[in-house]
């Protein structure tokens, strides 16, 4: 097993840390705003992972996740 950190693993770890820090500031948001932020964050992480850290995949995932999160109740 390779014990060295790969760029994809570093990207995923950084995305997770950023997501956690951003979501901790959601206390004074409405429920819909929280869902939008969570959806955008999850979509960005998933898009980044699926495209190997590609910018278009990350931004596309964030946009789609934000829309889905905004539509949920």
**Could you tell me the residue range of the domain that residue 46 belongs to?**
29-73
**Which of 38, 28, 30 is closest to 69 using CA atoms?**
38
DSSP 5-73: PPHHHHHHHHHHHHHHHHHTT-TTS-HHHHHHHHHHHHHHHHHHHHTTS-HHHHHHHHHHHHHHHHH--
What DSSP designation does 1 have? -
**53-73 pLDDT tens trace:** 888 988 899 999 999 999 977
Domains held by the chain: number? 1
**6-43 pLDDT tens trace:** 666 777 777 777 777 766 676 788 888 888 888 998 89
Confirm whether 24 is domain-assigned. no
Confirm whether 11 is domain-assigned. no
Contact 19, 50 (CB under 8 A): no
Confirm whether 73 is domain-assigned. yes
Confirm whether 7 is domain-assigned. no
Confirm whether 9 is domain-assigned. no
């Amino acid at each position: 097993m390779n014990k060295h950190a790969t760029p994809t693993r570093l990207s995923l770890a950084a995305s997770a840390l950023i997501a956690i820090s951003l979501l901790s500031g959601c206390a004074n948001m409405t429920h819909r705003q929280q869902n939008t932020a969570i959806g955008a964050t999850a979509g960005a992480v998933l898009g980044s992972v699926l495209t190997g850290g590609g910018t278009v995949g990350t931004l596309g995932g964030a946009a789609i996740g934000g829309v889905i999160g905004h539509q949920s109740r």
